[in-house]
Structure 1
């Protein structure tokens, strides 16, 4: 096999992942309003992919880089393949959109055009325009004295083609162009008053209302055409961290530069006027990567729209109320429980309130001396941030490692950092050249003349909003080895400590990949010795070449390998003589699969770990990441049960083929949907295995 054929290209694998998301929108067994949610996710996923991954490839072309990557693609060849596949996907996305709208209409809600409104409704919408919309609109003419304005990335605009009215002194034969931004501060869908005795909920798109009333912005001109367009710009930050005197100020400057990043994609409404199209392509210097859209641009609005519809709960998934962990429910405080035993929580089935309470109780406890925490992505109204501020104001030593470079959350994290500093917290912005992606909290408490460390390690962010929609595991413990390693890790991140001789943790960038190699090599040795040898790993992405090669080596040695990889997977499974012992499944369902879990058989003495890291080059070599062992046998069994449920899923699981395509897992057995099975907490949280490994 040619070397490059051993691997699947990362970006093409990502497109296949987004296609699986689109399949959920197409799936008639998925509740209708949930299908709209998936359709929205397809759009937001594609926005980020274009503004980061495709932008990076175009940067390579501009720099004259033409070498092939380890999957055999040059930047130019890969961009061509990406654009072809994404345009196919977008066409399918809008076909699905039209089908879903027809289905929603039958259910009693509809988005209409202006021509569908009766006289009373049109009058109400005109009044809404005058009172709410018109005051925030800014027409921007484009001519010799007024150059083409800055068009912000991923914002919706209208290109207006005008000609002077007969009364005008200007030439009536000349076309003029102007730009109007559709204000993102206003709702994209507007509720239209219903017809008399009508039960149907009717909505009008904001851009359609503005189009209809556009003449009010250009008195003395006749509107020739109005069409929507949208630009996606390069949004990847390019920081000179080594030369930056103040990292926070450097990121703020780079965020301002992001607004002027070069255009990567231009989306235009189908049938756009020739003059408007020529103006956009000339001014934006983009001629090839143009997406002509037959429908509303940016279907990301569908998430808010579907969520806002009232009296349609029968078209949604049944609500799952996160359960407060039983271990903490009856206890007076969380720390007293942890002195007796470790506790594992699994979100969103178990409430993130346990994490909030852990920090809040520590902040209020007079015997707690210090709290240390990493923050990567935090919710808007974070209870955790408020608790940390309270702890600092009460005199506790509070240290927070805030990752300012968390993509698209930079501005929010800068605001949190400043708020924490004002409260008296020691705020650290991580290590130069590295993102701090580990999710860990350390609480130091004085007890009987000595100090005890309490630790929370998670696979997901300290974000109570995403914890309702992502599957993630969190470990609470006061194990002395984990506590000692937690202290050492924070000392490395905040000071000049040399790398630690870790007792429990493996930490990237220096130690995580070597630790994984040690674990895999041990399974290889077990297989060669005829002992049980199996690896089960769950992650979001697998793209690091050396990790894939090590898994190929393990497969060839006879190690059984099961990988649960939600998104990108560059490993090609099931290839004879290379990876016939490797199985890869992806689960796309109601919740975003986000947990990183690793289980190794170790000849029968099973070990289980949770981690913040995917097996990607950036996680293993350019980030501070964490791999933490789960010592408690009962908790290990819980995680093994969860992994086994994922592997037995035959409803929402797809299996990766040697060709790089994904096919749905056969339903020969009774149906098992792992996310719905996991909602039955006793199923995986009992001491005895509910599912045989």
Structure 2
């Protein structure tokens, strides 16, 4: 490109992030009902997930030299770092909007969305009963061993990782005696959000993540829970039919679609509060590279906010205008 050109060109994927940021900014619009603003948070998260599966996967392929692209390995790595840096900044703004604007607005309307696994005393019995009857039967915790066969982390699913120490074992002051476990949140079996009994005129909702954490000791009897955090992996879901024989193309497409679920890692999201020792262990166990790491907040996969229950009715949603009837046109 001519350096003297009056026009400035941006990388396509960096430009796309600017577009998605504009979607995020819609959640700040106080003229909209709060549940409409929550929809924009959900759409932003959903867009970003697909972006990492399709667009970012190409840069990883360039770095691994799996495919031929216009940019070199060094250029692909540079662009990937630019993408991750921009997304990290946007994620910070995302959680500022969620914590400082959306949650207070919900509270003004008597909706309390728990941001902790330490529930109020008047909810403890209900949370324990719900966990034992509705959630516990679907949990499948597995021990993570770095030098052994370990569980496969599915694309787009939220997992809770736990560091443990045996109760009877003497603590050494470091993490060398810790046992590590991973457990998939079964929200295909249970909802992401659980409505709790109302109290004092307020409606209470809790993330299934926190409901499980509140009962984590029941999952690991004989152990003391040291730390517990959420993680999520996005995998390469891109595929190309270039140079494919047109014969049996439908079958080829089907095979490639199936492979979307087991593709290479393009993003490893983790709670930014996770201690370094814990993150290091996970990266070594699951062979996560530095350029795949993306720190996030306590709650992942917030595209699920689209499913947030609305216990107070339509006044917190945007009502669609009714169509005007024109008798002359209906005749």
Q: Structure 1 length as normaliser, TM-score?
A: 0.43
How far off is 1:221 after superposition? 2.0
Matched, 1:310 2:311: yes
- Matched residue, 1:183: 186
Superposed CA deviations along residues 268-326 of structure 1, whole A, max 9, x for unmatched, are: 11321444312322213222332222331222121110xx3032422221224568998
Q: How does 1:344-355 map to 2 (within 5 A)?
A: none
Match of 1:234 among 236, 250, 267: 236
For residue 208 of structure 1, give the secondary structure of its aligned residue in structure 2. helix
Residues 66 and 273 from structure 1, CA distance in 2 versus in 1: closer, same or farther, beyond 3 angstroms? same
How far off is 1:241 after superposition? 6.9
Runs (5+) with no aligned partner, structure 2: none
CA–CA distance in 2 between the matches of 1:235 and 1:26? 31
Superposed CA deviations along residues 48-99 of structure 1, whole A, max 9, x for unmatched, are: 1111111112212222867559xxx932332222222111111101100002
For residue 296 of structure 1, give the secondary structure of its aligned residue in structure 2. coil
CA–CA distance in 1 between the matches of 2:26 and 2:146? 49
Residues 138 and 8 from structure 1, CA distance in 2 versus in 1: closer, same or farther, beyond 3 angstroms? same
- Matched residue, 1:284: 287
Q: Is the 8 Å Cα contact of residues 163 and 173 (structure 1) preserved in structure 2? A: no
Runs (5+) with no aligned partner, structure 1: 331-693
How far off is 1:162 after superposition? 1.2
- Matched residue, 2:219: 217
Query: Which one scores higher on RCO, CA 8 angstroms, separation ≥ 6?
Result: 2
CA–CA distance in 2 between the matches of 1:325 and 1:44? 39
CA–CA distance in 2 between the matches of 1:145 and 1:59? 26
- Matched residue, 1:164: 166
Residues 270 and 75 from structure 1, CA distance in 2 versus in 1: closer, same or farther, beyond 3 angstroms? closer
Q: Structure 2 length as normaliser, TM-score?
A: 0.86
Match of 2:304 among 297, 301, 307: 301
Structure with higher helix content: 2
Residues 193 and 10 from structure 1, CA distance in 2 versus in 1: closer, same or farther, beyond 3 angstroms? same
Residues 85 and 117 from structure 1, CA distance in 2 versus in 1: closer, same or farther, beyond 3 angstroms? same
Structure with higher strand content: 1
Q: How does 1:633-672 map to 2 (within 5 A)?
A: none
CA–CA distance in 2 between the matches of 1:111 and 1:214? 20
- Matched residue, 1:192: 196
How far off is 1:4 after superposition? 10
Q: Is the 8 Å Cα contact of residues 121 and 192 (structure 1) preserved in structure 2? A: yes
Residues 167 and 19 from structure 1, CA distance in 2 versus in 1: closer, same or farther, beyond 3 angstroms? closer
Q: Is the 8 Å Cα contact of residues 80 and 291 (structure 2) preserved in structure 1? A: no
CA–CA distance in 2 between the matches of 1:139 and 1:293? 23
- Matched residue, 1:259: 261
- Matched residue, 1:16: 18
Runs of 4 or more above 6 Å deviation: 322-328
Match of 1:106 among 87, 105, 108: 108
Q: Is the 8 Å Cα contact of residues 84 and 294 (structure 2) preserved in structure 1? A: no
Superposed CA deviations along residues 405-427 of structure 1, whole A, max 9, x for unmatched, are: xxxxxxxxxxxxxxxxxxxxxxx
How far off is 1:158 after superposition? 0.4
For residue 251 of structure 2, give the secondary structure of its aligned residue in structure 1. helix
Superposed CA deviations along residues 10-63 of structure 1, whole A, max 9, x for unmatched, are: 212211111111111012222211111101111111111111111112212222
Q: Is the 8 Å Cα contact of residues 161 and 275 (structure 1) preserved in structure 2? A: no
- Matched residue, 1:38: 40
Q: Is the 8 Å Cα contact of residues 46 and 303 (structure 2) preserved in structure 1? A: yes
Q: How does 1:367-406 map to 2 (within 5 A)?
A: none
CA–CA distance in 2 between the matches of 1:276 and 1:250? 40
How far off is 1:252 after superposition? 2.9
How far off is 1:6 after superposition? 4.8
Match of 1:135 among 121, 137, 142: 137
Q: Looking at CA atoms only, which structure, 1 or 2, has the larger radius of gyration? A: 1
Residues 220 and 82 from structure 1, CA distance in 2 versus in 1: closer, same or farther, beyond 3 angstroms? same
- Matched residue, 1:202: 204
Residues 15 and 163 from structure 1, CA distance in 2 versus in 1: closer, same or farther, beyond 3 angstroms? same
For residue 16 of structure 2, give the secondary structure of its aligned residue in structure 1. helix
Superposed CA deviations along residues 364-389 of structure 1, whole A, max 9, x for unmatched, are: xxxxxxxxxxxxxxxxxxxxxxxxxx
Q: Is the 8 Å Cα contact of residues 211 and 226 (structure 1) preserved in structure 2? A: yes
Matched, 1:80 2:76: no
- Matched residue, 1:59: 61
CA–CA distance in 1 between the matches of 2:176 and 2:283? 23
